[in-house]
Structure 1
């Protein structure tokens, strides 16, 4: 009997607490007619702000995206390029201004969104070197003949802080090219105009780079088998090529000893 009375009292207490909570919520949540009139008046007074607010938020989002991917930024030095670009192997557009005797490209970066004042920095060029390959003298002259003043896409692989160079995978575009050409790195090796640069192998960090290196090795094997370019039986190494090869070997050994 006593337990029944206690259960009844607890149930009544629970119901009272429930009703009290609901009443407090209603008093806080239920708007009065005056509140609704004030809200309606505020909306009428600020209808333009409310109407264009989604557009403002959208524009702000676009600005944030532009800043993150640097669509309107013109890079004039290798150190200006964010580390995230190197890590993600971002591909940039450019124009080949000239090619040094060692096969290094002087490239003018062309941002996605060009701005009028970018013309002031036309002479500020990036030093771009073909990743994983060492062009021969013949390869360098071939590139000078076919690549100078041509548009290219260069995919960032690594930044050499000591020489201010960018190692990249270079792809010609914007003019008629054989569909089988692929990357410039592969084309040179396939035709015996460049050999693999073993010192760059330590820079391989992604599956995509590993696939490219495997493709380059396949291209070099085929070039050696076919006797193309520098692998030709009749090919005689010039004094300049011999000196360049010796210098490259010494440089590679020096780099290996530092690591």
Structure 2
């Protein structure tokens, strides 16, 4: 019995220091609850900053080369603001994700940010297509860019409006304002290339069947009248009537005999230099 009693006292003495440490920490946390909360918040913010920097979540891209390769491989969609319509596509200012506290801290100050050069992937615009884009994409309008490939400092994207319900690549093809071309930066046998090219080709075929835009054909009457108008015999008759009208105008201004009028008309119709000289003398 004395031995068991001494062992119990030893166990109680051994547990006493650990219990004292826990109680002290608990008491400190209770007394300084605000400090503990601030420390937790600071650690959380620091973690978010580290993660955001690593994945470039709130970075504003000013050049196509600044966009990580994994963004393009995963076909990430970026939000942007239209600056201008160019000969080959658009110039778009990237709008990053905005987080109230972190975005001002991570913003790059002092450096000039250039707009991104964007081309409609798989599409070659006609002049009418560029005019259509200028009419339907006002400056500072928000668009979505689904990254397809990158070629130097040019991005090939599927461009959508602010509601992301209308793909401009397909729309210009559907209206006959562009033609399909191979998608730059993608392997012709890749799944993405085949799927995208088939999608764009379907829109182009639809425009061709309905005769829209560049696929519009003249009616039978327009084609017939144009062929008649370009005929060589018709051109000769038009030329003769033009010369006769010129002769009649001269005859009204200067009285001449009927004989001279006949000679003048024949000389004007002739290509001989002598006849033309006679006609000039009569005039």
Structure 2 segments unaligned to the other structure (5+ residues): 1-10, 220-283
For normalisation by structure 1, the TM-score amounts to 0.66
When residues 39 and 188 of structure 1 are mapped into structure 2, their CA distance, relative to the original with a 3 A threshold, is same
Counterparts of residues 34-45 of structure 1 (less than 5 Å):
34-45=17-28
SS across alignment from 1:93 = strand
Counterparts of residues 165-244 of structure 1 (less than 5 Å):
165-173=154-162, 182-198=166-182, 200=184, 202-203=186-187, 207=191, 210-234=194-218
When residues 151 and 234 of structure 1 are mapped into structure 2, their CA distance, relative to the original with a 3 A threshold, is farther
Bigger Cα Rg: 2
* Aligned residue number for residue 97 of structure 2: 112
Q: Distance in 2 between matches of 1:193 and 1:211?
A: 22
Q: Distance in 2 between matches of 1:82 and 1:143?
A: 28
The structure showing larger relative contact order (alpha-carbon pairs under 8 Å, at least 6 residues apart) is 1
* 8 Å contact from structure 1 (residues 135, 193) kept in 2: yes
Q: How far 1:127 sits from its partner (Å)?
A: 0.3
* 8 Å contact from structure 1 (residues 96, 105) kept in 2: yes
Q: Distance in 1 between matches of 2:110 and 2:176?
A: 39
Counterparts of residues 56-205 of structure 1 (less than 5 Å):
56=42, 58-101=44-87, 103-113=88-98, 115=104, 124-149=114-139, 150-161=141-152, 164-173=153-162, 182-198=166-182, 200=184, 202-203=186-187
* 8 Å contact from structure 2 (residues 121, 183) kept in 1: no
| Count of residues paired in the alignment | 201
Q: After the TM superposition, which of the residue ranges 188-197 and 114-123 deviates more from structure 2?
A: 114-123
Q: Give the root-mean-square deviation of aligned CA atoms.
A: 3.4
Deviation digits for residues 144-194 of structure 1, max 9, x if unmatched?
121131210001111101xx10000100115xx9x6xx2000001111011
Q: Distance in 2 between matches of 1:122 and 1:56?
A: 31
When residues 169 and 60 of structure 1 are mapped into structure 2, their CA distance, relative to the original with a 3 A threshold, is same
SS across alignment from 1:200 = coil
Q: Distance in 2 between matches of 1:219 and 1:73?
A: 35
Structure 1 segments unaligned to the other structure (5+ residues): 1-26, 236-259
